[in-house]
Structure 1
Amino acid sequence: MSNSSSLFSVLTPLDLTYISASMDIYLYGYTLVMFIGLIGNICQIITFSQKFMQSLSTGILFLAMSISDTIYILQCLYVVIVYGFKISDRSNYGQTCQFRHFMNYLSTNFSAWMLTTITCDRWIRSRYPIKAKQICRPRIAVYAIIVALTFDFVLNFHLLTPMFGQIAPGVTTNCGANRSYPTYTYFYTYFWPIIVTLSVTIVPACIMIYFLISIAHTIKTRRNRVQPIGSTAANPHERRRAHYLHRQMLILMFATLILFFLTTIPVALFRLTFSIFNIQQSFSFSLLLASIFGLITTINYSLNFYLHSLTSNLFRKQFFHCFPCVITITSRNHNRNLETGNSMQRYVTRAPQGTITQLMQQQLYHNETDLNCTTMT
């Protein structure tokens, strides 16, 4: 108790304001974003788990990324409980800290490289449409997922070792390098932030920007290219379907990339600047920055479903296919509209009303008129 009282006695009113703002962000901001994100990611996993989406390599990659995003959101629950609801951690904090940070870095790395792989998949389909049938297959997508997961596991394995964990006895709100290992402490303090920024943001972003420029150039070139008549006439339905799928997957990719660039790059640049220039901050201000940056990063893993639903017609159709009641209501409305249209057409085109004698007289009159016209000619 004496340590805690002495700690709060040296805090200035500004420090208390920073801490209070951080707690509010963890309590209200994180809770809202996590709730929205969990619902969206569960719906997205259900959508990409459908048989049609599983037949596309891009659909499998999006499914893996959605699962990784969900894992990231779930592990954010810890900071909400500890900082937001102010419930102290009474578990074996050393092991909990190791596992939590490992899953954090693993999911962020994996999601970034899955998005890079999706961009590469679209680039191959745009640049080499003939070879894409052999390269961009569901089995190859599964191999890419295994390679990315293995790479991320090896990169972050040191977080599960005794070199990383609780930084001081009694401190359960923060963890880092174990001071008993000075070499690892130096590595974790000066090199690890740079490695994380490069592997999660800078390198994937540079690769994705290159693929995006190449895709845009390929699409522009094809629009200006004159195709032979025989190539467009051969199986037009299949070509139209392939073009529709490619365009819809490009829309999904662009929506995800925009959210990735808006949320991760500014945070990565700020953290890289603080690490390179070794800018010192107080604990309260560091906590405030961590809460803000963490909230922005969590948004990146929470809004993909809603962006996909707003931008892609194919994604909306596949999502509605998951709910038979929605399909039944839609089909009933469609059938009702068809019946209304048919009844209106019958009303417009039905025969004139009257008795049989009146109809026969009208028919005789028309025949007589036609006969007179024929005689005159």
Structure 2
Amino acid sequence: ILKFILSLILVRLFHSVLIRCRIIYWLQNVFRSLSSFIACTISFDRMFRAVYPTRAKHFCTCRLVYRIVFIYTLIFTFSLAFYLFPHMREDSQGICSTELNPVYHMFMTSIWPPIRTFFVCILPVSIMLIANIRLWRRIRASKRRVAPHTSNHVHSTNTETMLLFIAMSNVLAFIITQIPFHIYTIIVHYKPSIVYVRTIMLLWSSLYFGIGFYVYSLTSSYFRSKFTSTIYMCLKKKNTIIIRQNTISQRVPNKI
């Protein structure tokens, strides 16, 4: 958002070419790839918990989540290090460009965009769709197999339906926000006239990562209850400390 605003008022936030043309592009792609695969992993986690509830207790743990995120971070941090190469420089107009090195320019404009589109957009979308279809089939099979009038079945079905709705909303938001940006990165090399809409497309694609948080967190009744109870306990603990301090301060003069 800050970059979008600064581009409108023609203000340069960073004057260093290393920061503007290399580090920022590198960080953008690292976090974009990391966020896409984390969203994909969350969809797979939701499906695995619904389809294999017994195994999920052993595999779906916080320790495994930390390991997966750490592995993702290492992979994308080092695999995208080519953004830090010194071939990305400023042209005569002060715009970051790779044209000074023909080989690097060909890779960044013709080879890398389709590869990134596949690994960061098409592959996560495909995995999320497969996971959601598997979750949907699990819900249908559960409705047919169990008596529909039992309270436990109704509660389980409602929970699985909510998970399916959240997962499908996440996939839809991912498709709407990510596909336009990746299409732009592929065709911008052939239509240079649209290069000036990059910041707008980047801002649009970044909306997903905020939407994904609200879809998975704030729409979950479990998250809301845990969040509310945590806030309540923090406030209660703070009030208890204040009351104890006031009690101690009142007792001290009496002893004197």
TM-score (norm 1): 0.54
Give the aligned partner of residue 211 of structure 1: 131
User: CA 1:322/1:129 → structure 2, altered by over 3 Å: closer, same or farther?
Assistant: closer
Give the aligned partner of residue 168 of structure 1: 91
The answer to whether the 8 Å contact 2:4/2:199 transfers is: no
- Equivalent AA in structure 1 for residue 5 of structure 2: V
User: Alpha-carbon deviations, 1:258-312, whole Å to 9, x = none?
Assistant: 321221123323443x15xx53233xx421x323312311221233444456632
TM-score (norm 2): 0.77
Secondary structure of 2:12's aligned partner: coil
- Equivalent AA in structure 2 for residue 132 of structure 1: A
Secondary structure of 1:130's aligned partner: helix
- State the 1:122 CA deviation: 1.7
Give the aligned partner of residue 19 of structure 1: none
Give the aligned partner of residue 279 of structure 1: 190
- Equivalent AA in structure 1 for residue 191 of structure 2: Q
Q: Compute the RMSD of aligned alpha carbons.
A: 3.2
Task: Report 1:220-259 matches (<5 A).
Answer: 220-226=140-146, 252-259=166-173
- State the 1:87 CA deviation: 2.1
- Equivalent AA in structure 1 for residue 221 of structure 2: N
Segments of structure 2 that go 5 or more residues without pairing to the other structure are 237-256
User: Alpha-carbon deviations, 1:127-150, whole Å to 9, x = none?
Assistant: 222222221111111111112112
- State the 1:152 CA deviation: 1.2
User: CA 1:270/1:95 → structure 2, altered by over 3 Å: closer, same or farther?
Assistant: closer
User: CA 1:297/1:248 → structure 2, altered by over 3 Å: closer, same or farther?
Assistant: same
Give the aligned partner of residue 8 of structure 2: 84
- State the 1:315 CA deviation: 2.5
- State the 1:162 CA deviation: 1.4
Distance 1:142 1:252 in 2: 23
Give the aligned partner of residue 243 of structure 2: none
Secondary structure of 2:97's aligned partner: strand
Give the aligned partner of residue 312 of structure 1: 220
Q: 1 or 2 for the larger relative contact order (CA 8 Å, sep ≥6)?
A: 1
Give the aligned partner of residue 252 of structure 2: none
- State the 1:216 CA deviation: 0.7
User: CA 1:309/1:113 → structure 2, altered by over 3 Å: closer, same or farther?
Assistant: closer
Q: Does structure 1 residue 93 correspond to structure 2 residue 13?
A: no
Give the aligned partner of residue 200 of structure 2: 292
Alignment partner of 1:147 out of 71, 79, 82: 71
Distance 2:217 2:53 in 1: 27
The answer to whether the 8 Å contact 2:90/2:97 transfers is: yes
Distance 1:194 1:79 in 2: 25
Percent identity at matched positions? 22
User: Alpha-carbon deviations, 1:327-366, whole Å to 9, x = none?
Assistant: 88xxxxxxxxxxxxxxxxxxxxxxxxxxxxxxxxxxxxxx
User: CA 1:219/1:245 → structure 2, altered by over 3 Å: closer, same or farther?
Assistant: closer
User: CA 1:226/1:324 → structure 2, altered by over 3 Å: closer, same or farther?
Assistant: closer
Give the aligned partner of residue 103 of structure 2: 183
Distance 1:318 1:247 in 2: 21
Distance 1:157 1:90 in 2: 20
Equivalent residues, number: 234
Give the aligned partner of residue 263 of structure 1: 177
Secondary structure of 2:205's aligned partner: helix
Distance 2:190 2:112 in 1: 16
Distance 2:23 2:170 in 1: 28
Distance 2:21 2:132 in 1: 38
User: CA 1:131/1:201 → structure 2, altered by over 3 Å: closer, same or farther?
Assistant: same
User: Alpha-carbon deviations, 1:222-268, whole Å to 9, x = none?
Assistant: 221148xxxx9xxx7xx999888766655544433332122112332
Distance 1:306 1:120 in 2: 18
User: CA 1:134/1:90 → structure 2, altered by over 3 Å: closer, same or farther?
Assistant: closer
The answer to whether the 8 Å contact 1:97/1:175 transfers is: yes
The answer to whether the 8 Å contact 2:113/2:182 transfers is: no
